[in-house]
Amino acid sequence: MENLLTNQIVVYLIAAYILSHVPIIGRYLTMINTLIHENGHALAALFLNGKVYSIKLFINTAGEAVTGQRGWFSSVVISYAGYTFSSLAAYGCFMLLNKGNSRFILYAFLTIAIINLLLWIRNLYGAVWLISFIALFGWTLYSGNGTIQTFLAYFLSSVLLTESVSSALQIFMLSIVKSKSAGDAASLAHYTKIPAFLWGFVFFFQSLYVAFIAIRNLV
């Protein structure tokens, strides 16, 4: 039974990684990670008594969270929160799968999508993507088909986990060859004077570590 579950997880992870790199479909799927990443920035801002003005999701899978914060510490934490929150969210999903709470994953992401659509998303593509995402998850939950719900929960969790690692690797590589364009790593380098490639390494290392313990705990 344990070997069967391990094999299933491996299949889900491989399928998630492959489909995430297929044109059109891949961009749609990887937007899940972008949404969670940008929400990490937003939640950090709110936690530190800042403001969230808008979140934008772009067709190239990039995202942008416009926040208002005060002080150096807040700026550092908010910049750091994106990749970290993606990894922690993926870990949380795998913990819920381990406890047999796959439906809760769908409800959680549906809630996140609705909140973003109502409060934060401020561009057309982001709104259209969220509406389709909400429709898909809403139909899945309404249908009451446990098999489909379990499949979607496992697949979504696998997409989030593989993308949390893949996106962190991309920013790490970019921080080495083009540090000023390395997104959050560049922002953190600006605020802390620590080189961007070190921040890129931190993002990548922590994503690998979280992925390892998430998979280990499940299988």
pLDDT tens-place string over residues 64-90: 999 998 889 999 999 999 999 999 999
Per-residue model confidence (pLDDT) at position 5: 53
Per-residue model confidence (pLDDT) at position 69: 85
Per-residue model confidence (pLDDT) at position 156: 94
Q: What are the φ and ψ backbone dihedral angles of 65, each rounded to 5 degrees?
A: -115, 120
pLDDT exceeds 60 at position 2: no
Which has the higher per-residue pLDDT, 145 or 89? Answer: 89
pLDDT exceeds 50 at position 63: yes
Per-residue model confidence (pLDDT) at position 94: 94
pLDDT exceeds 80 at position 199: yes
Per-residue model confidence (pLDDT) at position 112: 96
- Model pTM? 0.93
Domain boundaries, the chain: 2-27+83-218
pLDDT tens-place string over residues 86-144: 999 999 999 999 888 889 999 999 999 999 999 999 999 999 999 999 999 899 888 88
- Contacts with 46 (C-beta within 8 Å, 6 or more apart), sequence order: 52
d(CA 132, CA 113): 10
Per-residue model confidence (pLDDT) at position 144: 83
How many CA atoms lie less than 13 Å away from 109 in the CB half-sphere? 35
pLDDT tens-place string over residues 3-34: 545 678 888 999 999 999 898 899 999 999 99
pLDDT tens-place string over residues 31-58: 999 999 999 999 999 999 999 999 999 9
Phi-psi region of 152 (alpha: psi -120 to 50; beta: other; left: phi over 0): alpha
Per-residue model confidence (pLDDT) at position 219: 66
